[in-house]
Amino acid sequence: MFTENDFEEMLIEKISKNGWKYVASDELPRQHSDAMVETMVREALIRLNPEIAEDPSRADEVIYKLRTIILSVQPHNLVTQNEVFKKMVFEENSYPFGEDGRMIPIRFFGTLTKENLALNEYVVTNQWIFPKEDGGKRLDLVLLINGFPIAIGELKTPTRNAITWLDGAGDISAYEKSIPQMFVTNVFNFASEGKCYRYGSVGMPINLWGPWHTAENKSEGTLVDVERSVMSMMKPEIIMDIFQFFTIFATDKKYRKYKIICRYQQFEGANLIVERVKAGYPKKGLIWHFQGSGKSLLMVFAAQKLRMIPELKNPTVVIVDDRIDLETQITATFNASDIPNLTSASSKEDLVNFFKGDIRKILITTIFKFGEVDGVLNQRDNIILMVDEAHRTQEGDLGEKMRMALPNAFFFGLTGTPINRTDKNTFYTFGAEEDKSGYMSRYSFSDSIRDKATLPLHFEAVPVDLKINQEAIDTAFDELTKDLTKQEKSELARRVKIEAIMKSPDRIKKVCEHIARHFKEKIEPNGFKGQVVCYDRECCLLYKQELDKLLGEEATTIVMDTNNDKEDKYRAFRRDRDAEAKLLDYFREKDSPLKLVIVTAKLLTGFDAPVLQAMYLDKPMKDHTLLQAICRTNRVYGQEKTHGLIVDYIGIFDDVANALDFDEKSVQKVITNIDEVKKEIPKLMKKCLGYFLGVDRTVEGWEGLVAAQECLPTNKEKDKFGADYRVLNRAWDVLSPDPFLAPYKFDYLWLTKVYESVRPTDGRGALIWAALGSKTIELVHENVSVYEVHDDLDILRLDADIIDEYLEGRKDPNKAAKKIQINLVARIQEHGNDPKFIKLGERLEELRERHEQGLITSVEFLKRLLELAKDAAEAEKETIPKEEIDKGKAALTELFNSVKNKNTPIIVERIVNDIDDIVKIVRFPDWQSTTTGKQEVKKALRSVIWIKYKIKDKDLFDKAYSYVEMYY
C-alpha cells in the first residue's frame, strides 16, 4: 500500500532533483526553540557580503534583529511580521558596516541571475519538530533557503478518498496560530493528498488556496499531476522570484493587513511581459485572462517587477484604462497593495507634464487623456504600457494618438473577455506575430472555473410571458400593423422602438414581482445580493418605484450616470466618486439592508462585489459587453457561494454561447442552464439510492440507519457514496426551493440522514465530507430529526453482563456496535464545536478504522465503544442542557408573541430561531460575567431585532436580552 510516508519520500526525491539538498531534520544544527537554522544564516551572510566576511561578528548583529522579529510574533500579527521580514531582507537592509561606519546594503539572498542564485543554500527536510523537543508540532516537509524556512508542506494519505489536501491545509492554518514563529520567514505553504496540489500564503483562507499548473498541462487528479506541479513550482529560481516580486502586502478597508501571493497564470503572464521587455522585442503582446481571475493583480506584479529590475534602468510603467470606473478599480488595487512610486493623471495637462518631465514612476490613466495630445511626448524605449480591456476604444484614433505620443514604448494589451478571430484590429494592434495563437498568454473561462479562481455561471429561464425576444416583437408589430401598406409599415418601423415593450407598465410590474419573489426565496436566505440591469435610465426609475412597493425603499438603490439630465429627473441618484464608493462598500457588507443595485450601464465592468450572486438581466446586450456584465456574479465568496446566477428576461443565453463560440466545448461545461440541472436530479437520486437496494426507507430511528450502514461496510464504499451524495446535494442546493423537488424530498432527506451518520466525526476529509449546502441544512432542520438520540441509560445499560451474553453467542456484537455508533455520532455532532466532543470524534474515527482494518475484534471494538459512550455521557453532563436552551426559546417566543400586532408583521418562530442561532455562535462559557461577552451578545441581538427585523423598541430589546442572559 502507498502510504503517507511513501508519498513524503517521493516528493523529497523529486524536490532534490530540482537542486535542493536533503538533510534529516535531526541533523540540522538547531536549538530547540530556533525557527531558523542560525548556522546556515550566518554562513550565508558571510558568503554573500564581503564586509561581513571581513568581520564575521557583524553577522551576529543581523541575526539578533532577525531573532527579534521572529520571537515577537503573535498569531494576530503574523502577516505584519511576515511583511517586516520581507522588507528587512529586500528593502530596509542597510547596516553601518562600510568604511567609517557608513551605511551599506547587505544581502541575505542571491537573486535575479543564475550566478547569484547559485550562491544560496537550498535544503529540504522532513518531520521538523518545533519546538525541538517532545510535545512540539511535527511538520511534514520544510524547504529552507540560507537557513530560513520559506515553504512548509503538509501531506495526507493518498489511499482514502475522504482525506484530502484540505485536511493538510487545515493543519497548516492551525500551526499558524499555535507556532507562528515558524511562519515569519514564510513565502508560501502547500498541501497535497496525492491527487491535488494546492498552495497559499500565511493567513489566506483555505478556499482561496490555488493550484500550480504549467501552460502545457493543466490536468490534475493523479500522483503524476501532483509530481508535475511540485517539480514546476519547487525550483529555487521560481521560489525566489515569487518571494521577491510576486508577493505583496495589502490593507483592507478595516485597516487589516493581508498577504497576496500570485496564482500561476499571473506569474506566467507578468513574467512574459518582463522577459519581452528585457529582450527588447517584440514590443507588444496580447494577454487574455478571463473576467475575475486576477488581471488587476497581474498588472501589479508586472509593474512591481519591471520597476525593480536594474537592467531596465528605472523604467516608466503606464496602466491605461478605457473607463473611469475601471481606472478607479485598478487604482484601488494598486493603492491597497502599498506599491511605491504610484501616481495618476487627472487631466491632459497632468499627462503631458508627466511624460515631458521624464518621470520614472507607475502612472494610472485613461485612454481619453491622450485624445487631445498632438505630437511626441517621450521617445524613451523603457516606457511600458499595459492597456486594460484592449479590444475596445484603444483600436481607434485614441490608440493611434497614444502610439504617436510614445513611439518607442512597449504596448501590452490585456483583456478579460475573448477576442473573436474576426476582430482583426485588436490582434494587429497588440498581437505579436511570434505568438501563433494571437495571445502571449491565455487563461480561459474553463481554466478559471477548474482552478476555483471564479465560479460557474447558471442561467435561469423566466416565465415565457416575461421574456422579450425579437420574435415576440416582430409578432406584436405585425399584429399592430396588419391593416397598413408595406410602405406605411416601413415608415412606422423606423419610429417604433423596443422601448415601447420594455417600458410597458404591466410588464414592468410583472418583472419586478418576479424579481422580488425570486430574490426573497432563492438569494436573500443564503446571505447574497443582486443586481438588476435595466434597459435605460428611465427604466431604472420605473423599476425602483415598483420594487420599493415590494421590498421597501432601503432594499434598493440606483447607480447610474446622471450627466446630461436637463430635467433633473435623476437628481436623487447624483453622487460624486467618494459618495458612490461609500455606497458600494455599504452594498458589499453582507448584513446591510441594501440588497439590490439597479443599473443600466454603470457597474457592468470593473465592479467587484463577491457578495453579489444574482443578476436580473432585462437589457439586450451582445459579445464582450454581455460577458463582462454577467461575470459580475462569478466572484468567489466563502464556501456557500457555488455559482453566479443570471435570471434572463431577454432570452440571451444563445448570445452568451455565440460570444464564447471560440471555445464552445468549454462553455457547455461551465455555463449551466437550470433546466439541465433539473434533468440531472432523477439520475443523481437513482445513483445514490443504488447503494441501498432492498433497504426499507420507511423504518425510522437507529434500526433504519443500521440497515443503510450495512450497505456501506468499508471506508471505500462510504467515500464513494459521500462523493455521489455531494454532487446531488449541490444540484439540490441550486434548485431549492423549486416545487420541482417535491417528489424527491422524502428520499433526499433519507439520504441526508445516512450521509450524516457515516461521515467522519473528527472533521477530517473536508473535501468530500464538506458541510451541507445552506438550503439542505434548513430543510433538514425543518423536516427531520437526523438521529434518534437515546438517553444515557440506553447507552450505559450495555454493560459487562451484556458483553458476557455476546461472548456466549447469544447476541450479535456488530449490531450492538452499530447502535452505539449511531448514538455516539449523534451526540458528537450535536456538540460539534465543543473541544471535548471534537476529541471524542477523533477517538471514534480512529477506532472505526482499526476495526475495519481487522486490528481489533468485534467484541474488543464493542468494549471500547462503550468506554467512549461513557465518556460522551460524562462530557454531555458538563454542557448546557438542551432543555435550558429550549426554555430560552420558549421564553423568547412568549415575549415576541405578546408584542406582535398588525404593526409588527414578524414571524415569531423565525425571529426566535435567528436569535437562538446567532447567540449560540457568539457566546462563550461564562460570557455573562465579562464586559466583552455582554457587548458581543448585545451586538448580535441588535443585528437581528433592530437591523434584520427593523423593530426599534428599546424595552423589547432589553427584555429579550435579559432572557438571553438568563437562559444562554
Q: Express each pLDDT in 795-825 by its tens digit.
A: 334 444 444 544 454 455 566 666 677 767 7
DSSP 3-state percent helix, strand, coil across the chain (nearest 5) = 55, 10, 35
8-state DSSP, 210: B
Residue 515: band (very low, low, confident or very high) from pLDDT cuts 50, 70, 90: very high
Question: Cα separation of 90 and 96, whole Å?
Answer: 17
Q: Express each pLDDT in 162-177 by its tens digit.
A: 788 999 999 999 999 9
Whether the predicted pLDDT of 336 surpasses 50: yes
Q: What angle do CA 408, 409, 411 make, to 5 degrees?
A: 135
Closest CA to 724 of 697, 678, 762, 690: 690
What are 685's three cell numbers?
A: 437520486
Average pLDDT over residues 659-666: 46
**Which SS3 state, helix, strand or coil, does residue 295 take?**
helix
What are 540's three cell numbers?
A: 431604472
Output the pLDDT for position 231.
96
Whether the predicted pLDDT of 448 surpasses 90: no
Residue 545: band (very low, low, confident or very high) from pLDDT cuts 50, 70, 90: very high
Range of weakest confidence among 314-318, 435-439, 461-465, 771-775: 771-775
Question: Cα separation of 872 and 864, whole Å?
Answer: 12
Chain CA centroid to CA 316, Å: 33
Residue 663: band (very low, low, confident or very high) from pLDDT cuts 50, 70, 90: very low
In this structure, which amino acid lies at residue 59?
A: A
Please report the sign of the dihedral spanned by the C-alpha atoms of residue 796, residue 800, residue 801, residue 806: positive
Residue 46: band (very low, low, confident or very high) from pLDDT cuts 50, 70, 90: very high
357, 379 in Cβ contact below 8 A? no
Burial (CB count <10 Å: 0-12, 13-18, 19+), residue 227:
middle
Question: Cα separation of 521 and 231, whole Å?
Answer: 48
Output the pLDDT for position 638.
77
Question: Cα separation of 496 and 229, whole Å?
Answer: 59
Q: What angle do CA 655, 584, 542 make, to 5 degrees?
A: 60
The fraction of the chain above a pLDDT of 90, given in percent, is 39
What are 669's three cell numbers?
A: 461545461
Average pLDDT over residues 139-164: 92
Q: Express each pLDDT in 22-39 by its tens digit.
A: 999 989 998 878 999 999
Q: What angle do CA 34, 39, 40 make, to 5 degrees?
A: 100
Output the pLDDT for position 447.
85
Output the pLDDT for position 177.
94
285-311 residues labelled b (16+ CB within 10 A) or e (exposed): bbbbbbbbbbbbbbbbbbbbbbbebee
Contacts of 679 (CB under 8 A, 6+ apart): none
- Bridge partners of 142? 125, 152
Whether the predicted pLDDT of 667 surpasses 70: no
Question: Cα separation of 77 and 55, whole Å?
Answer: 34
**Which SS3 state, helix, strand or coil, does residue 333 take?**
helix
Output the pLDDT for position 625.
77
Q: Express each pLDDT in 214-232 by its tens digit.
A: 888 888 889 999 999 999 9
Output the pLDDT for position 692.
94
Output the pLDDT for position 422.
44
Average pLDDT over residues 381-394: 76
Chain CA centroid to CA 322, Å: 28
Q: Which residue has the higher pLDDT, 460 or 62?
A: 62
Whether the predicted pLDDT of 959 surpasses 70: yes
Residue 511: band (very low, low, confident or very high) from pLDDT cuts 50, 70, 90: very high
Output the pLDDT for position 891.
77
**N-terminal to C-terminal alpha carbon distance within the chain:** 50
Q: Express each pLDDT in 692-727 by its tens digit.
A: 998 998 887 767 788 888 898 887 888 889 888 988
DSSP one-letter string for 684-746:
HHHHHHGGGTT--TT--HHHHHHHHHTT--SHHHHHHHHHHHHHHHHHHHHHTT-GGGGGGHH
Whether the predicted pLDDT of 955 surpasses 50: yes
Average pLDDT over residues 386-411: 74
What are 701's three cell numbers?
A: 430511528
388, 319 in Cβ contact below 8 A? yes
Residue 276: band (very low, low, confident or very high) from pLDDT cuts 50, 70, 90: very high
The answer, yes or no, to whether the previous bond of 315 is cis (omega within 30 of 0) is: no
429-449 residues labelled b (16+ CB within 10 A) or e (exposed): bbbbeebeebbbbbbbbbbbb
DSSP one-letter string for 382-394:
-EEEEEESTTSGG
In this structure, which amino acid lies at residue 572?
A: A
Burial (CB count <10 Å: 0-12, 13-18, 19+), residue 25:
middle
Q: Express each pLDDT in 758-767 by its tens digit.
A: 877 665 566 6
Output the pLDDT for position 315.
95
Question: Cα separation of 192 and 167, whole Å?
Answer: 9
What are 821's three cell numbers?
A: 455508533
Pairing of strands 612-617, 644-648: parallel
Question: Cα separation of 962 and 496, whole Å?
Answer: 65
What are 779's three cell numbers?
A: 430543510
Average pLDDT over residues 730-734: 79
Q: Cell 496540489: give the residue.
A: 197
- DSSP E strand stretches across 136-271: 137-145, 148-155, 188-192, 197-200, 247-251, 257-261
Contacts of 695 (CB under 8 A, 6+ apart): 704, 707, 708, 711
Output the pLDDT for position 807.
46
Q: Which residue has the higher pLDDT, 753 or 784?
A: 753
Question: Cα separation of 944 and 911, whole Å?
Answer: 7
Question: Cα separation of 482 and 216, whole Å?
Answer: 60
841-869 residues labelled b (16+ CB within 10 A) or e (exposed): bbbbbebbeebeeeeeeeeebbbbbbebb
Contacts of 574 (CB under 8 A, 6+ apart): 562, 565
Q: How far is the CA of 951 from the CAs of 212, 245, 427, in angstroms?
A: 50, 52, 59
* Most confident among 1-5, 375-379, 894-898 (mean pLDDT): 375-379
Closest CA to 6 of 193, 151, 177: 193
290, 296 in Cβ contact below 8 A? no
Q: Which residue has the higher pLDDT, 536 or 597?
A: 597
Whether the predicted pLDDT of 629 surpasses 50: yes
Q: Cell 444515557: give the residue.
A: 792
Mean pLDDT of the chain: 81
Residue 68: band (very low, low, confident or very high) from pLDDT cuts 50, 70, 90: very high
CA torsion, points 921, 927, 931, 936, in degrees to nearest 10?
10
DSSP one-letter string for 298-323:
HHHHHHHHHHH-GGG-S-EEEEEESS
Closest CA to 560 of 572, 547, 552: 572
Q: Express each pLDDT in 77-97 by its tens digit.
A: 999 999 999 999 998 899 999
Radius of gyration of the chain from its Cα atoms, rounded to whole angstroms:
32
What are the backbone dihedrals phi and psi of residue 614, each rounded to the nearest 5 degrees, phi first? Answer: -110, 135
Q: Express each pLDDT in 846-861 by its tens digit.
A: 787 777 777 777 667 7
- Bridge partners of 22? 124
Question: Cα separation of 734 and 613, whole Å?
Answer: 12
